[in-house]
Structure 1
Amino acid sequence: MGKINFIFAIHFHQPVGQLKWINDGIYERSYKLLLEIFEKYADLKFTVHISGPLLLFLNEYYPEWINRIAKLGDLGTIEFLAGSMGEAILPILPSEDRYYQVKEYMRYFEKLFGYKPKGMWLPERVYEPSLPEVLSKNMIEYTFIDDSTLQRGGHSSDKAYYSWLTEESGRTLKLFFIDTGLRYVLPWSSSEEVFNYILSKSSEEGDRVIVWGSDAEKFGEWKDPDWAWNWLNDFLSKLRERDDILLVHPRDYLKEHGVKGLIYLPSGSYDKMLEWSHGFFRNFLIKYVESNNMHKKMLLVRKKLKQAPEVADIAWREYHLGQCNDAYWHGLFGGIYLIHLRQAIYEKFIKAEKLAEETIDYYRDKNLVFNYIDFDYDGKREVLVETPRYNIYIKPDDGGTIFEYDYKEKGKEHNIQNTMTRYMEPYLENTGFIPDWYRRVSSRIHLWSPDTGLNDWINNTPFKDQSDLALRKYSVIITREHKIILRTLGGHYVYGLKPAKILVEKTIEFKNNGITTNYELVNYGERPVDTLIGIEYHVSPKIDLINKDSPIIYRIESEEKNVEEQWKGISRKIIVKSKVFPDIVLESSDRENEIWVSPLNSLARTEKGLMKVFQGIAIMFVKKTVLKPKDEYSVKINWFIGENLN
């Protein structure tokens, strides 16, 4: 009869920016339950990882839970795994940050528990061959990766049932392999089926090990708590009586059996992550421009922090928490499509940026700093305008648009341009969904056909924009008066008519608490242009992450509307209101233009099926006009934070 060692590794994690009432609910339904299970079966051996962001949350709101689970570590029931402080995907970080993410977690864990773990949980089990050096420098002896990584390296699947040694630059790391098949049966099948699966990997020698490593939320959150309680009690009570499946800690297995030998492996993760990322996690930075934007914001902030060696430690802590992985990708559910997660990432980076700027006296006697750099690493330069109170980032080659608007006032840090483009996802095929054909940011110009309506715009009815201005590349001039002029020559196209050349000029002026943009459109064609001139903005209101009953509204023409409501009519001003942020105001100089307002909702898969997910407020200033040859239309739009532009 064969025997096998069994590592039961449970991963507790909630992301930076998770809504407090969501965390509270998961704590009540899942985390309390699991702690009670650990205490009831204290004679067994569990392996536990608590992510950095969740550890911070639990220590603040549920310290007694931390105290109780720490005692189980002292008793020998639980072996804890280290992690990265921000639960960051280590390979996508600068090399120093990879090291400090782990170091900071170890420091904080030791502060709470009194010692440093020897093993580590890799966020999303994203492995690259450079990691052994980073982990070894932090005195990490072993980690868990998925058996799919083993198979990608051309190795036999049987190797997954032993520990192996790898190295990078002479720095060694021991590897355990999480069994994909076991993840799909535990806890979804009966105890007997799980035992049968585990024993199918056993050997007469009893030196093999099988690893289950997955989310704590599978117990009490993914399925109801009563079911989870009953399943765990049945499974563990029966496991306790068996002598052919030995529940062990990783460190004890290594002491008794050691490693099988040397191995080298390619990049990898678990099977579904490989599917979603097309085999390589960094592909998310290419698929989602919003993911790349956060990542490159990270790199920019890091440069400022490195210039400020005396900056407070809290700045680095905020920076590291801004690297939390969940907002950078999308798989089954949520992720980058959750506006509050992206909001929190920007909030962390803006806080760190502000602290660095204050430390090095970044502005000195200036109110404005202009940088003309390739911010997003696409080979084209962007214009970054920085002030002590806000940042404006402009992308000339994407319609001369504003793609980031950071508010930097202490306690109110927020990117009000934190909106999300709607992408085609595999699960949206054949649903009638039409993805966005341009990035949902601000200051984009359209020439709509005269029959275009609000729903055509927000739902992407094809061929309604009759110009190429929305995606044109704009030239850039920075004037002596510190204004930015963006200029392009595009066309207006109607079937059967000669194209009409349209000159567009945007002049942006920077005020104390916002910007003024003057738009000028001139018809240089030989025919009239009958059109709806649309100037598009998007606003990301600040979400209250603590209080559930904190609605966001917008006010227009003395009406107050919920952000999920549309509005269309003659107006020149809209105010977006949140209880946790000053008013965000957009106002036009044209008293006769229309304003179209709509929620920007993506269609995303959730635990409850396909649902609309709020991504921001879409706002279009619309002018119905006929531009005759040489005619000009001009309008000034203010975009500011507070009661008045100053």
Structure 2
Amino acid sequence: MTGKVLFIMGLHSHQPVGNFDFVIEKATRECYHPFLEVLGTYPQIRMSLHYSGVLLEWIREHHCETFDLLGRLVGAGQVEMMGGGFDEPILVMIPDHDKAGQIQKQTDYLEKQFGVRPVGLWLAERVWEQCLVKPIADAGMRYVAVDDSHFKFAGLSGTDLCGYYTTEDQGRMLNIFPMSELLRYYVPFKDPEKTIEYLRAFAREDGTALVTYADDGEKFGSWPETHKHVYTDGWLERFFKLLTENADWIEFVTFAEALDRVEPLGQVFLPDASYREMMEWVLPVDSQHAYEDLVADFKEKGIWERAKFFVKGGFWRSFRAKYPEANEMYSKMMLVSEKVSRLGESPVSGQTNGRYEAARDELYQGQCNCSYWHGIFGGLYLPHLRYAVYNHLIAAENIADEELKGNREWCESQVVDYNFDRRPEVLLSSPHLSLYLVPHRGGHLAELDIRAKKFNPLSVLTRRPEAYHRTVLRSQEQKKEQDQEGPQVASIHDSVVFKSEGLEKMLQYDRYKREGLIDHVMGPEVTLDDFARGDFVELGDFVEGAYEFEVSKRGALQRVTMTRRGAVTGEQGPAALTIRKEVTLDAHEPTFTVTYEITGAEDRALRFVFGVEMCYAMLAPHADDRFYYLEEPDTTLRSTEGTSLRSTSVKLGDLATRVDVEGVRRFGLADGWQQLDIGITFSEPARLWTFPLETVSQSEAGFEAVYQGSVVLTHWTVVLERGESWKLKLEESHQ
């Protein structure tokens, strides 16, 4: 063989903040550890590895043998450790001071644990924008790696990609390596010989050709069916053996070594991009369908390979527009980041015995990227990951408020555009609760932080169409195709698996964002089933109509009064109807109250059903220690931990139960895992409906139904004579 090629192999491994221990345990046992074991038997093969800080910490605590094995490979010079953000944030998403802090924390950790300082950075989800050059370079990093599709979008191709380039912004320089997209689909899914053939095409006499493969480490044993394929069936052994047999012309180098061995090919300025699939997932549903149809059309015409790098999808930040829930988490993160930054700059921070560092670490965990987007991986659709983001952000905010405000009791309000939509929201806060109210969207309660529990029970995901629902609707056809093809190992980007039957029947979509204090005006004919399906008519315009508001304070109470002069449709046509709701927060109690006053038209009598909807994300709908209860005499109820929840109550069912009960004065939701009791009291006896909110979503394991929360609707039949008013008071407590 004449000619040589320099070959970089890099792997990135990460687990989301808040992921289940058993998931990470399985990934370590079936993926992370066996890969390092096999790599250690081939000392000729040198690799660049990246592990997020959150994953390294977990492995160090739970599997020291894996951590030590990695350390030995680093010590032997076989592995280069790559840096990054410690808790794997999308860097463009977080403030610059947090970019610097996240990268520095990972750098310090690697130096402390492995005795090396990284010189390059793994870019989370390969989300690139040119503005990253300065903060990455200022953090001491010399290089990043992104998909070669980034380069192809800039007009480069073929041998243009056999090396690396430099780029510049604001006087800072950074080296960028293109990672082969084709090798991402070859390794480990194609025969190892395919990779050898690919590399052979780039070999040069002067030995300066540089080819980069880098991808997710989880595909080596953690993705569905890959453990058997990679280890039991010996794919990885064959791959490494074949590489070493060709070591006379394939030379293994790390990213850092390549910088010293090879000159850059030139200067490049890349467009904003991520990997190609990510830019498809971020598109709105109709656009994603159009994109998929266009790709299929191009493939049928045989021009896709020539055209695909002129056909670009969306922009990563658009996930915040596609999913309001992602934008709300982002907005919370930005608010908390500002508070933690103020704590770090405050004169009291030096006297807090590590409290600033503790708040910063909680904030960083709340910046973990996985919950802020959705594609082939569950991400935003996984309630336990959203729970973890809010848990850590509320923890960081608690520390900052405790240090900045001291031990005094306090209660405050802010009128602020916290979610960056140019419309004001109202934030009520005390040491016990934080309420985020949205007057311009039906006066909804968008966030409710129970601060002692570091829990936002309103972190519910609305049911909405997804592009992949088109595949679900064709499920029978897909199943037939799978049966005909037989068992095979496929990339998760190509795999079609249905984890349960009848998912197509669960494709129901909401007309409004599911959250709290949603005001409904309906007819008496609406049933629980109608309401759960969204198959009913709103007689009023209050669900998402704009409410006027004013904020006031009286002693230890903060109050927001929201009013909408709307309309209700009756037998005689539209009629005026005014809803006034007043939300009050007490500095001394983990309780808020809502008083309603509904005033009818002056020209006619009205009769309708008024309902107040609350949606609670309680994580485990079928757990024995999470359930609805109803106040009744002579009944004692205890959680599985043995803690008394109420002295007089009866269990209605778990949080997946459909409840239809009349005459309710007080009911609640119990969560024994968090030792939390949410109790709601009404001044007027209510009819209570509940049902589970479930989505059909996609993950690497296939299509599945996911519990997103429990919908609670309390409602009353309201009869108003001309100009008459009806009043209601509800109180929600959190113990």
TM-score range, shorter chain: over 0.9
The residue type paired with residue 500 of structure 1 is A
Confirm whether residue 282 of structure 1 aligns to residue 358 of structure 2.
no
Are 1:518 and 2:595 matched, yes or no? yes
Q: Is 2:158 the partner of 1:166?
A: no
Q: Give the Cα–Cα distance (whole angstroms) in 1 for the partners of residues 422 and 111 of structure 2.
A: 44
Q: Which amino acid aligns with 1:407?
A: I
By how many angstroms is 1:454 displaced? 2.0
Any idea what SS the aligned residue of 2:128 has?
coil
Distance, in Å, in 1 between the alignment partners of 2:427 and 2:171 is 42
- Distance, in Å, in 1 between the alignment partners of 2:165 and 2:730 is 63
Of the structure 1 ranges 218-227 and 430-439, higher mean CA displacement relative to structure 2 is found in 430-439
Q: How far is 1:71 from its partner? A: 0.9
Structure 2 partner of 1:385: 428
Q: Does 1:639 align with 2:674?
A: no
> Are residues 1:269 and 2:269 paired?
no
2:551 counterpart residue number: 478
| 2:714 matched residue in structure 1 | 621
Is the contact between residue 38 and residue 77 of structure 1 (CA under 8 Å) also seen in structure 2? no
TM-superposed CA distance for 1:191, in Å, is 1.1
After the TM superposition, which residues 449-528 of structure 1 pair with which residues of structure 2 at under 5 Å, given as runs? 449-461=523-535, 463-481=536-554, 482-494=558-570, 497-511=572-586, 512-524=589-601, 526-528=603-605
Q: Name the aligned partner's letter for residue 521 of structure 1.
A: I
How far is the alpha carbon of 1:31 from its aligned partner? Answer: 1.4
Shift of 1:157: 4.3
Q: 1:247 aligns with which of 247, 252, 256?
A: 252
Match of 2:297 in 1: none
Partner of 2:634: none
- Distance, in Å, in 1 between the alignment partners of 2:144 and 2:685 is 64
Q: Deviations over 1:31-53 (max 9, x none)?
A: 12112112222331122100121
Scaled by the length of structure 1, the TM-score of the pair is 0.94
SS of equivalent to 1:130: helix
Q: Counterparts in 2 of 1:306-321, with a 5 A limit?
A: 306-309=341-344, 310=349, 311-321=355-365
Instruction: Kindly state the Cα deviation for residue 202 of structure 1 after the two structures are TM-superposed.
Output: 3.6
2:168 and 2:359 mapped to 1: Cα distance?
33
Letter in structure 2 aligned against 1:308: L
Tell me if the contact between 2:693 and 2:708 (Cα under 8 Å) persists in the aligned partners.
yes
Separation in structure 1 between the aligned mates of residue 241 and residue 158 of structure 2, nearest angstrom: 30
What one-letter code is carried by the residue in structure 2 that aligns with 1:581? Answer: Q
Q: Does 1:408 align with 2:409?
A: no
- Are positions 1:421 and 2:462 aligned together? yes
Once the two structures are superposed, what CA deviation does each residue of 1:535-554 show, in whole Å capped at 9, x if it has no partner?
1001122669xxx9885333
2:417 maps to which of 374, 399, 421? 374
Partners of 1:543 and 1:578 within 8 A in 2? no
* Alpha-carbon contact 1:587-1:639 (below 8 Å) kept: yes
| Shift of residue 620, structure 1, vs aligned partner | 0.4
**Match of 1:240, as an amino acid?**
T
> 1:333 touches 1:604 (CA, 8 Å); kept in 2?
no
Aligned to 1:99: 100
Counterpart of 2:686, as a letter, is N
Cα shift at 1:83:
1.1
- Aligned partner of residue 415 in structure 1, secondary structure: coil
Matched, 1:397 2:440: yes
Deviates more, 1:496-505 or 1:176-185: 496-505
Distance in 2 between residues matched to 1:216 and 1:556, nearest whole Å: 49
Q: How far is the alpha carbon of 1:115 from its aligned partner?
A: 1.8
- The answer as to whether partners of 2:343 and 2:356 remain within 8 angstroms in 1 is no
Find the counterpart in structure 2 of residue 563 from structure 1: 655
Note if contact 1:3-1:245 (Cα within 8 Å) is conserved in structure 2: yes
Matching residue of 1:341: 385
Q: Please state if 1:609 is matched with 2:644.
A: no
Residues in 2 aligned to 1:375 and 1:54: alpha-carbon distance in whole angstroms:
32
Does the residue aligned with 2:611 lie in a helix, a strand or coil?
strand
In 2, distance between residues paired with 1:30 and 1:579? Answer: 34
Deviation of 1:460 (Å):
2.1
2:613 corresponds to which of 519, 522, 536: 536
Which letter does structure 2 place at the counterpart of 1:254? L
The amino acid that maps onto 1:533 is F
Q: For the structure 1 residues 31 and 501, does the alpha-carbon distance in structure 2 shift closer, same or farther, using more than 3 Å as the test? A: same
Q: 1:385 to 1:591 in 2, by over 3 A?
A: closer
| Matched residue type, 2:457 | I
The CA deviation at 1:125 is 0.7
In the superposition, relative to structure 1, how do residues 36 and 587 fare at CA in structure 2: closer, same or farther (>3 Å)? same
| Alpha-carbon RMSD | 2.1
Deviation at 1:391, TM superposition (A): 0.6
Unaligned runs of 5+ in 1: none
User: Deviations for 1:218-256, whole angstroms, at most 9, x for unmatched residues?
Assistant: 111212423211110111111110133333212222222
Match of 2:230 in 1: 228
Bigger mean CA deviation after superposition, 258-267 or 376-385: 258-267
* Superposed displacement of residue 416, structure 1: 1.7
Q: Which amino acid aligns with 2:568?
A: H
Q: Indicate the SS of the match to 2:44.
A: coil
Q: Against the structure 1 CA distance between its residues 157 and 132, is the aligned structure 2 distance closer, same or farther, given a 3 Å change threshold?
A: farther
What's the offset of the Cα at 1:215?
A: 1.3
SS at match of 1:21: helix
Structure 1 residue 424 displacement after superposition: 1.6
Asked whether the 8 Å contact 1:543–1:580 carries over to 2, the reply is no
Q: Is the 8 A contact 2:679 2:734 kept in 1?
A: no
Cα distance in 2 for residues equivalent to 1:72 and 1:354: 41
Specify the alignment match of 2:690 in structure 1: 597
User: How far, CA to CA, are the matches of 1:64 and 1:131 in structure 2?
Assistant: 36
Quick check: 1:572–1:595 contact (8 Å CA) kept in 2? Answer: no
Partners of 2:163 and 2:468 in 1: CA distance: 37
TM-score scaled to structure 2, two decimals?
Answer: 0.83
1:498 maps to a residue whose letter is: G
Cα distance in structure 2, aligned partners of 1:126 and 1:134: 14
Alignment deviations for residues 155-202 of structure 1 (CA, whole Å, 9 cap, x no partner): 334322211111222221111111111111211111112322333344
- Deviations 1:491-549 (CA, angstroms, capped at 9, x unpaired): 1125x7310111101122223111111122222164444432211001122669xxx98
Give the SS at the match of 1:593.
Answer: strand
Identity of aligned residues (%): 28
- Structure 2 SS opposite 1:469: coil
Aligned length: 634
Provide, for residues 99-158 of structure 1, a one-character-per-residue CA deviation record: whole Å limited to 9, x for no partner: 221111111221211121112110001111122211211221111011111122233343
